[in-house]
Amino acid sequence: MGRLSDAKVRAAKARDKAYKLSDGEQLYLFVTAKRARSWRMNYKFGRNAQGKPLQKTLTIGSYPAISLKDAREARDVAKSMLARGLEPSPTDLFSRANADEDLRPSFRKVALEWLDGQKPRWSAVHLSDVKASLENEIYPAIGEMRLADIDAPCVLRLLRSVADRGAIETAHRLRQRISAVFVYGIALGYVSADPAAGLRAILPPKPKTKSQPAITHLDQLRQLLVDCEAERCRVQTKLALRLIALTAVRPGELHGARWHEFEDLDGPEPLWRIPAARMKGDMGRKQETDGDHLVPLAPQSVEVIRAIEPLTGHFPLVFPSERHGHRPMSENTLRALLIRAGYYQRHVPHGFRSAFSTIMNERANDLGRPNDRAVIDLMLAHVPTNKVERAYNRAAYMTRRRELAGEWADLLLKDMWPVAVHMGQPIRWASNGPGRFNP
């Protein structure tokens, strides 16, 4: 059906029942049984109790007092107001040529302000993760909406769409971030309430966190090292696995290890000084003065480091990527080695921390050394949250920590072959038959 013309509007006759003559774009002429004619427009604004858009009708005015041309201009003004989040009324259409500009901030604008304020508190990695979640999950749904127009049903629909695809933890995390933006908006007077605050109980409960799989029996852990080091792979990978087993550092701390972090390797007190900036924690923890994590090195750890030095000593990184010398080893490299050796879902690189903690704490208990528990926590960088206590403890008990590092290395590598046996060995099987290899 085409658009109306002045002639067609003038010729509109009364019928037994009221009817409509459409002009397109939601505008139509409504003609009653008594031939009263008025311009009307259908539109959507707000939502009902079920969260569905409300269908509404705007009466622009009667014909011929308002011509077809005037009705079209009024419709355009009404649509402009709706686009700005304002509901039009008949008086809005002719008392001003254009709807007032809606200066209320959008969710995206407030979220960007909030994020900017978190820079001093968060690490660059965490800030990037939060930005990505907002851009990928939240902005497409509510980013351009005015903060004051976003209600609880609107937020719940967004969160349920995420939870329905199985990402329940993500849905809870997004709720926290939306709530944080609203709390910031409340503080600045943009809004008076946080519609995300009460939605936690409505979302599906978070699945229980699964602990990282770890072998915590000493004999089985020794066998794991034997099995992994018997696999064919780069010698750097085998040495990295042995070093993480000996030091019980976090995988990320191992991957990012740099040569300048190792001290006194030829002296009586070799040490791995992991900078605070590379440690787990918030920005405050990473920026602490004298906040480095000190890892005393057993002779077996020094042996590993010395063995890899001819291979990667010319790079800044101790364990660089195979393809890019300036990038650290992939976080999946050690995990893949464990899987190939038959330890899928039985042990992961992070599991060496659990193994060290369990075995050494049980040993301390058996030997009647209850004070070793606090020392073991320090070796794992499980430090107190109090800054003063943390600064004191970071370098505390160093003598005992060095002793425990040596005892752990002796237990773990008793009768184990020296690292030199891996140098020059084939790194993969050939593809043309069992037992064949490429040196």
What pLDDT, in 10s, does the model give residues 323-379? 877 888 888 899 999 999 999 989 999 999 999 999 999 999 999 999 899 899 999
Which sequence positions are flagged as catalytic?
A: 250, 280, 350, 353, 382, 392
DSSP alpha helix (H) spans, 119-264 = 124-133, 152-163, 168-187, 218-229, 235-247, 251-255
Q: What does the DSSP 8-state code read for residue 144?
A: T
Sequence spans of domains, the chain: 6-95, 107-187, 218-438
> In this structure, which amino acid lies at residue 75?
R
Q: What is the DSSP string of 77-98?
A: HHHHHHHTT----HHHHHHSSS
Q: How confident is the model at residue 314 (pLDDT cuts 50, 70, 90)?
A: very high
**Cα 12 from Cα 77, distance rounded (Å):** 26
Mean pLDDT of 85-89: 81
DSSP three-state, residue 29: strand
Q: Which superfamily, per CATH, for 107-187?
A: Tyrosine recombinase, N-terminal domain (1.10.150.130)
The predicted model scores a pTM of: 0.55
CATH code for the structural domain at 218-438: 1.10.443.10
CATH 1.20.1250.20 fits 6-95, yes or no: no
Specify the range with the lowest mean pLDDT, choosing from 88-92, 265-269, 318-322, 350-354. 88-92
Top-ranked range on mean pLDDT: pick from 95-99, 140-144, 208-212: 140-144
Distances (CA, A) of 188 to 198, 228, 424: 21, 57, 65
Q: How confident is the model at residue 102 (pLDDT cuts 50, 70, 90)?
A: low
Q: How confident is the model at residue 270 (pLDDT cuts 50, 70, 90)?
A: very high
